[in-house]
Amino acid sequence: MANAIRALAMDAVEQAKSGHPGMPMGMADVATVLFTQFLRFDPRAPDWPDRDRFVLSAGHGSMLLYALLYLTGYADMTLDELKRFRQLGSRTAGHPERGHASGIETTTGPLGQGIGNSVGMALTERMLAAEFGDDIVDHHTYVLASDGDLMEGVSHEASSLAGHLGLNKLIVLYDDNSISIDGPTELSFSDDPLLRFRGYGWAAERIDGHDHAAITDAIRRAQKSDRPSLIACRTTIAFGAPTKAGTAAAHGSPLGAAEITGARERLGWSEPPFVIPEDIRAEWREAGARGEALRRAWETRLRSLSTGRRDEFLRRQRKELPPDLDQAIAKICDDFRQANAKIATRQASGTVLDTLTRVVPELVGGSADLTPSNNTKAKEQKDVRRGDYSGRYIRYGVREHGMAAAMNGIAVHGGLIPYGGTFLTFSDYARPSIRLAAFMGVGVVYVMTHDSIGLGEDGPTHQPVEHLAALRAMPGLYVYRPADPVETAECWALALHRRDAPSLLALTRQSLPLLRHEAGSDNRSARGAYVLAEAEGERQVTLLATGSEVSLAMTARDALARDGIRAAVVSMPCWELFEKTPKEYQDSVLGSAPRVGVEAAVRFGWDRWLGPRGAFIGMAGFGASAPGEALFPHFGITPEKVAEAARSLL
Ligand SMILES: Cc1ncc(C[n+]2csc(CCOP(=O)(O)OP(=O)(O)O)c2C)c(N)n1
């Protein structure tokens, strides 16, 4: 059965003239034992919520996963798809892409991310079990990881968190083949991963990854462990290939006709390319059919839940939000207006969360050790702890990347909606996982505070300047920079409603005046940009601003009015949403008068809104260490400078 995987991997890579045959051939035995004896899955119900999760963290070995999906009988993974490996429009992309085929739990390829995701999945399993009971939620998360996965920093962060939280249903099968692209791993890697993972609080052992009995025993032990498990499987890369086995030459290139013929001989595999003998195929299909009875038994248990609990469980699986969310947001906006709240948008966000976490029970928060700064912990949220997973707040520690990768895992697992905080400047530390959230289209929410020089004394290391531009450059990510408490609540509503893409809230440390005084529940931020204050009469200039600089533009508008200059102020909380509005709306907002952009960040990206005659007030370099009130004048970001720029355009 393992040789069927090896043959398909060799054949598909050869046909595509590109790909990675080595890992699938090396880990074929481990995968066969896992899929035939342990993994609980049902190809006929790939999204069965209580299935075990299998994450191929070493995404370059994608043919291993595709072969398994084909052999076990997933309807959309046909032999034809294997023959079209790595071709345009096929389900069998170079690296596994979530959504391309059922059975692909998460997108992998950037090494280390899969391990990070798996920690979020395993944690979600425990949290949902604490809420809905072990009868309804009781599954394992299995990961196949390579040397590269273990070298990458994100896996260290995530594994350390998994050990701390005691996620004992997480089992990592490590392809300990001592080979990476440059050659033997001893060129760059002298860790003792077993010692390291034991240090994280994991169980760790080494086995012969070609010995089926040893693999079986090790997985059994791991299933009984009270901690997460790393099973280092000693394997030979490209097992069976006559000259390339055990060498880096087999990692990422087709083996070539002669080598494949030799491998077929050694493995005793006489079938032509892409042909699986009937008896072996039947055995694989039988392995794929094992899960149906388990799934049906689970469905019976689900039916025995009370109607209320069952409906709640299923609502979350459908990613449907509770019906009272919008009403709650409207009430929060009213409260802000009544109080004429002059608070930082991070504080407004904290107030919003106090309500949202009550209305949306699937919201699970956290921060990379900046909880009091990010205002991410709602009043009623309890910490998630080792052994007690009933809380809804995760202490991620100083692990931004691990946090973002784990949040992706929480999101793809289903049943919970993750949000997590850090300083906006440290979005860089989380960026590879943010990119994957955008790429997969999962509704993670990032709460990124301290969003400009306005943060003050911590200085330029902490003051983001290029981050908004960099984040806006990422396809599929919605970047929100609300201007006041009302906009903050509106942006939270938009972020939650968007279940098919990640959202990032850039929030201030410093207090801001309330700008949105008008009553009513129209979510004006939903259009991405809108006229906050129209000119008195025909517009002579339009001031475009985001976040903390909108109030500054409003002051400039008053100053200009005193000189008889008619200026409008446009708040632009979300460029991505504005881009999606009809051109007529955009034209009406932007107007035909000259424009001044105001944002305490770099100009990069702004010119598309400013037009050929536009001016920009913002940052041209890094910030400085001083109180925020001193920095705005120092860098020339003041109402006077905005008014001056406006006058120069007339
Ligand atoms: C973040 C990241 N960096 C680099 C790569 C390119 N890459 C793919 S596989 C690999 C290392 C291969 O070694 P190993 O992980 O041991 O896999 P094996 O050769 O055993 O298949 C590298 C550097 C990547 N996919 N992701």
For the record, the structure tokens of 514 come out as 């309330």
> Which segments of the chain have a pLDDT < 70?
none
CA distance 99 to 436: 13
Query: How much is the pLDDT for 563?
Result: 96
Query: How much is the pLDDT for 353?
Result: 98
Pocket of ligand 1, beta carbon within 6 A: 22-23, 58, 60, 109-111, 146-148, 152, 175, 177, 179-181, 237, 251
- Give residue 234 CA to ligand 1 midpoint distance, Å: 17
- Give residue 437 CA to ligand 1 midpoint distance, Å: 21
| Among 13, 97, 143, 146, residue to substitute to test ligand 1 (most atoms within 8 Å of Cβ) | 146
Instruction: Return the DSSP state at 252.
Output: S
Which ligand 1 atom is nearest residue 110's CA?
26
- Give residue 461 CA to ligand 1 midpoint distance, Å: 31
| Among 65, 111, 175, 234, residue to substitute to test ligand 1 (most atoms within 8 Å of Cβ) | 111
Helix axes 325-339, 485-497, angle to 10 degrees: 170
Query: How much is the pLDDT for 517?
Result: 96
Which ligand 1 atom is nearest residue 20's CA?
21
- Give residue 60 CA to ligand 1 midpoint distance, Å: 7
Which candidate, 389, 459, 394, places its Cα nearest to that of 423? 459
Residues ≥6 apart with Cβ < 8 Å to 348: 336, 341, 482, 484, 485, 488, 489, 507
- Give residue 180 CA to ligand 1 midpoint distance, Å: 6
Residue listed under structure tokens 């089926």: 212
The predicted-structure confidence for 557-578, as pLDDT tens digits, reads as follows: 999 999 999 999 999 999 999 9
- Tell me the catalytic residues: 400
Phi, psi of 543, rounded to the nearest 5 degrees: -100, 120
Which ligand 1 atom is nearest residue 113's CA?
1
Mapped onto helix, strand or coil, the DSSP state of residue 492 is helix
Query: How much is the pLDDT for 223?
Result: 98
CB 178 within 8 A of CB 147: yes
| Among 180, 188, 435, residue to substitute to test ligand 1 (most atoms within 8 Å of Cβ) | 180
Residues ≥6 apart with Cβ < 8 Å to 89: none
For the record, the structure tokens of 628 come out as 């925020």
Residues ≥6 apart with Cβ < 8 Å to 492: 329, 349, 352, 353, 356, 445, 505
The predicted-structure confidence for 452-474, as pLDDT tens digits, reads as follows: 999 999 999 999 999 999 999 99
Going by CA atoms, what residue is nearest to atom 21 of ligand 1?
Answer: 23
Which candidate, 402, 398, 355, places its Cα nearest to that of 374? 398
Residues ≥6 apart with Cβ < 8 Å to 581: 527, 528
End-to-end CA distance of the chain: 77
Mapped onto helix, strand or coil, the DSSP state of residue 595 is strand
Which candidate, 514, 510, 508, 559, places its Cα nearest to that of 532? 514
| Among 181, 186, 431, residue to substitute to test ligand 1 (most atoms within 8 Å of Cβ) | 181
Degrees to nearest 5, angle at CA 41 with 40 and 44: 155
CB-neighbour burial class of residue 309 (10 A; exposed 0-12, middle 13-18, buried 19+):
middle
Helix (H) or strand (E) holding 442: none
For the record, the structure tokens of 441 come out as 């289209």
* Cross-strand partners of 567: 541
Going by CA atoms, what residue is nearest to atom 26 of ligand 1?
Answer: 110
Which ligand 1 atom is nearest residue 432's CA?
1
Phi, psi of 598, rounded to the nearest 5 degrees: -135, 115
Which ligand 1 atom is nearest residue 61's CA?
21
- Give residue 87 CA to ligand 1 midpoint distance, Å: 21
CB 541 within 8 A of CB 591: no
Going by CA atoms, what residue is nearest to atom 9 of ligand 1?
Answer: 60
Residues ≥6 apart with Cβ < 8 Å to 241: 21, 25, 250, 255, 259, 260, 262, 263, 266
- Give residue 51 CA to ligand 1 midpoint distance, Å: 28
Residue count of the chain: 650
